[in-house]
Structure 1
Amino acid sequence: MSEIVVQAFVTLDGVAQAPGGPDEDPESGFDHGGWQDRYHPDEDNEFVGEWESKTEALLLGRKTYEIFAGAWGVWDENADGLTGELTRRYNRVPKYVASNTLTTLDWKNSHLLGPDVPAAVAALRAQPGGEIRVWGSGQLIKTLAAHDLIDEYRLVVYPLVLGTGKRLFSEGFPLTQLTLTESRALPTGILVNTYRRRAAAEKGGG
């Protein structure tokens, strides 16, 4: 059985919108894009590299897919360090995309989930394999949570309050009981927290 793992960079007030750059997602006039750049923890590459070494597939909403395809999908696989490592991995693994509007996908190894996203994801999750990674994709995460399809959340929590922007756990997010299984504080004040579904945690994962 595979596991659906959500990874996200969030502020103290739960904002997950456009951490990586000013043009990443300016929707609704969001002008704090790139807020993650205020912090430069040396440990970033270490834990992200460790997490992504376990990625066997990507599960993405349309907007995040298009951002990833325009970045990892075109960047040099021979780049140094983590950038090259992730570019190679993301190009290799299958990408599963939830979209009501896209009809074709140009990034290699990409597949549309079809009209019944929960059923398609449940079928993927039931197959043998490793971690199916979700980045971004707030609306997709909400849908998956409503059908109890998320096994783990890995949240990198920054000591920053923006007061505006899309939140990971937005209004109307389904009731979700989680167990904190790991927490690490970085020197910059960033917390790296891992939460598992209550049932999955009680069973020891799985």
Structure 2
Amino acid sequence: MRQLIVTEFISLDGVIDSPGNGPYPHAGWTFKNVPFVAEAYEIKGREQVEATAMLMGRVSYDEFAPVWPSMTDEFPQYNAMPKYVVSTTLENPEWNNTSVLRSIDDVAALKQGDGGPIIVHGSATLAKGLAAAGLVDRYHLLIFPLLLGAGRRLFDDTADAMQKLDLVEHEVYSNGIIKAVYDVVR
């Protein structure tokens, strides 16, 4: 069985909306509001090397597909690896090595197959659905020292969403970013 890893830039109050760009009022908050410290992003390079497939929702695909393929120096492994988009409406994705999955059940079947880790970038709605279905094995979080207030959040605020996590790696950087890697306890 393959490991499914959700990786996110997240504010201290749980917002993951538009960390780089997009329509969100605070879009770009990861780079506009916190000084860049290269070592804080080491985990992003490691993810790219260790992952064998990328999974995303339709909104994230629509944001990544026009940009990431041209970033051959920054994302060579992501551009080459198999990519899966969970969508009921996407037809004929243009990004290299991209396939469409129509449901969470299709993701569960992909996870049951052979291969290495599957990385999930962005995709708040998808990540919540994967967590609710018990498919998430690990979270890679870069927690930014910001309170954004509103925006899409990674975790549900429903009473039945409790999940126990085990901290397996952490580090604090000079700019206030905290790396926290959690395994889901089953």
TM class, shorter-length: over 0.9
Unpaired runs of at least 5, structure 2: none
Whether 2:25 is the aligned partner of 1:31: answer yes
The answer to whether the aligner puts 1:71 opposite 2:67 as a matched pair is yes
Q: Give the corresponding residue for 1:161.
A: 147
Return the alpha-carbon distance in structure 1 between the equivalents of residues 85 and 98 of structure 2.
7
Cα deviation, residue 166, structure 1? 1.2
**Using the alignment, how far apart are the partners of 2:172 and 2:143 within structure 1?**
10
Identity rate, percent? 38
Q: 1:46 aligns with which of 42, 48, 51?
A: 42
Match of 2:174 in 1: 187
Distance in 1 (alpha carbons) for counterparts of 2:124 and 2:4: 14
- How large is the RMSD of aligned CA atoms in angstroms? 1.5
The whole-number CA distance in structure 1 between the counterparts of 2:40 and 2:48 is 12
Deviating 4+ runs (over 3 angstroms): 170-173
Alignment of 1:118-129 (within 5 A): 118-129=104-115
Other structure's SS at 1:124 match:
helix
Equivalent position amino acid for 2:174 in 1:
P
CA drift at 1:45 = 4.1
Instruction: In structure 1, list runs of 5 or more residues that go unmatched.
Output: 200-206
Q: TM-score, length-normalised on structure 2?
A: 0.92
| DSSP 3-state at the match of 2:52 | strand
C-alpha distance in 1 between matches for 2:146 and 2:10: 9
Partners of 2:15 and 2:53 lie apart in 1 by 25
- So what's the TM-score if we normalise by structure 1? 0.84
Measured after TM superposition, the shift of residue 76 of structure 1 is: 4.6
Query: Corresponding residue for 2:130?
Result: 144
